[in-house]
Amino acid sequence: MAAVGLALSSGAAAVAGLVVVATICFGSFYTPGISLTSHRADAAGLAQGLSYGVMNTAWAFGELVGPTAGGALAESAGDGAPYLVGSALCALTLAATYRVAGRLRPHEA
């Protein structure tokens, strides 16, 4: 919701407040994500170092591509477009998570 608010707001105070809220919301996924990476690596029989290496590579690739793609999208479709696309990607990720979690037994999650 904070990303949609960033796409639709234009006042400096509103944007500043939404940036703080978005930072807390998006940043709160790192700790559970790292825990899930560790758990799933153990369940799959992978070394944790390998799983964290893959995770860091994906993170670095996102840091490389995200600003470039977001800037190009903002240039062509307006400043709010990257926030709307990011919100849609977050919603799709949430839907995929619920779909996968619904198929797993509680001890596999």
Closest residue by Cα to residue 28 from 7, 10, 2, 65: 2
Distance CA 6, CA 33 (A): 24
CB-based contacts of 5, cutoff 8 Å, min separation 6: 14, 18, 21
Name residue, tokens 């995929």: 96
Q: State if pTM tops 0.75.
A: no
Lowest mean pLDDT among 26-40, 46-60, 75-89: 26-40
**Model confidence pLDDT, tens digit, residues 29-54:** 777 878 888 888 888 898 988 988 98
